Amino acid sequence: MNPQEFGVLLISVLASVMGQFFLKMGAAKLGKLDFAHPFNKITGIITTPELLIGLGCYGLGAIAYILLLTRVNLSVAGPAASLVYVFSVIIGFFIFKEPIPIMRLTGLGFIVAGVILVVWNK
């Protein structure tokens, strides 16, 4: 993967992570799902700016990923896109004060090591 391709991958990953961040913020505003009034939640989704921004970020991430797939094998791009998981846990920890148990931290280490091995060019 050359630097330009890595840049497109980074845009895709960061846009997807920002999508998750805004979706979590919007979901927190909505509160828990009330099965008695599902239409109220649907209306809430449509009218919550953070949720719309999150969906837009996901769309941007998908476009960048499609562009990446025009240049990089799926067997490289797919695993590399798993960096979204790593950044999501980091955002969860620092912004939403979610704990990171040692097993999750170990799993993230395996993800990072796997991505390095997959994208490494000899």
41-45, 90-94, 95-99: lowest mean pLDDT where? Answer: 41-45
Task: Provide the angle, in degrees to the nearest 10, between the axes of the packed helices 38-47 and 3-30.
Answer: 130
Helices (H), the chain: 3-30, 38-47, 49-69, 74-81, 83-94, 102-119
Distance between CA atoms of residues 85 and 108, nearest Å: 8
> Mean pLDDT of all residues in the chain?
91
pTM: 0.85
Confidence tier at 119 by pLDDT (50, 70, 90): confident
Mean pLDDT computed over 46-69: 96
